[in-house]
Amino acid sequence: MGPIVSLQDISLRYHSINGETPAVSHLSLSVDPGEFISIVGPSGCGKSTILSILAGQLAPSEGTMEVNGNIGYMLQKDHLLHWRNIRSNALLGLEIQKKLTPENIEYVESLLKQYGLADFKEHFPWQLSGGMRQRVALIRTLAVKPDILLLDEPFSALDYQTRLSVSDEIGSIIRQEKKTAILVTHDISEAISLADRVIVLTKRPATVKKIFPICLSITNHPPIQAREAPEFKDYFNAIWKELDVHV
């Protein structure tokens, strides 16, 4: 089986009245089915732009792209609707796509149950913690059965402690559901603990600077325990150096 996502020599320039902004330059990347990829790079380098290209929201100025599956998109804010209860929020994506079949509703019910939200179905978003809300947002995304999940800094609105456990939960759910995932994050530890490969981008315009395949001696671990692996800090230091944030 070939890659599920393949970008070849992709460039993108934004046009505005002030001129042209090159955001992505000759970027190539392929992702295998079931792989979990983390993308890190300097702020403003073009990470969100890359996800928008993958989602088909922006057309690249140059290059070719192949995406062999349905895309699900998860953003920093959970975008839950405050007047809908949790069950009805989780069903929103299906409703918009007019796919509220009994099978799909049953699937959402089973996800809510499996991921600890069964007792909160009739609650409203404001009655839930930030972490639970992010779980609802993930279930809403999973409901439409995407093959590929794009996650744009989905944990950055959470405080540090919550962020640790929520990234752990969300990472485990994505593994369990056997999805392909592309996560953009500015948190190096999060990137390493969740991913099979960490892609480091250059500053704008983004291109791939270095790829780190992650192989930790603690296997079949929840991501949070991955941080205990002896190699963890070596990956951290190598990626930190590659990011070159002080330059």
Residue 220 binding ligand ADP, by CB under 6 A: no
**Region label for 229, one of left (φ > 0), alpha (ψ between -120 and 50) or beta (otherwise):** beta
Q: Is 156 in the site for ligand ADP (CB under 6 A)?
A: no
Angle, CA of 37, 38 and 42, to the nearest 5°? 145
Residue 21 binds which of ligand ADP, Mg ion, none (CB < 5-8 A, kind-dependent): ligand ADP
Q: Which stretch binds ligand ADP (CB under 6 A): 47-55, 132-140, 173-181, 190-198?
A: 47-55
Best CA proximity match to 54, nearest among 210, 194, 202, 46: 46
Which option in Mg ion, ligand ADP, none does residue 104 bind, with CB closer than 5 to 8 A by kind? none
Which sign does the torsion angle of CA 121, 194, 179, 27 carry? positive
156 belongs to the binding site for Mg ion (CB under 5 A) = no
- Binding flag, residue 48, ligand ADP (CB under 6 A): yes
Is residue 48 involved in binding Mg ion (CB under 5 A)? yes
Shortest CB 106 distance to Mg ion, Å? 35
Q: Which residues contact 230 (CB under 8 A, 6 or more apart)?
A: 217
Q: Tell me which stretch binds ligand ADP (CB under 6 A): 39-47, 64-72, 85-93, 101-109.
A: 39-47
Q: Does 21 bind ligand ADP (CB under 6 A)?
A: yes
Choice between 137 and 184, CB closer to Mg ion: 184
38 interacts with ligand ADP by CB under 6 A: no
Query: Strand 197-201 vs strand 36-40: parallel, antiparallel, or unpaired?
Result: parallel
Q: Residue 151: beta bridge partners?
A: 74, 183
Please count the other Cβ atoms lying within 10 Å of the Cβ belonging to residue 231.
14
Query: Closest approach of Cβ 86 to ligand ADP, in Å?
Result: 29
Instruction: Show Cβ contacts of residue 95 under 8 Å, excluding neighbours closer than 6 positions.
Output: none
Give me the residues that bind ligand ADP (CB under 6 A), please: 14, 16, 21, 23, 41, 43-49, 204
Give me the residues that bind Mg ion (CB under 5 A), please: 47-48
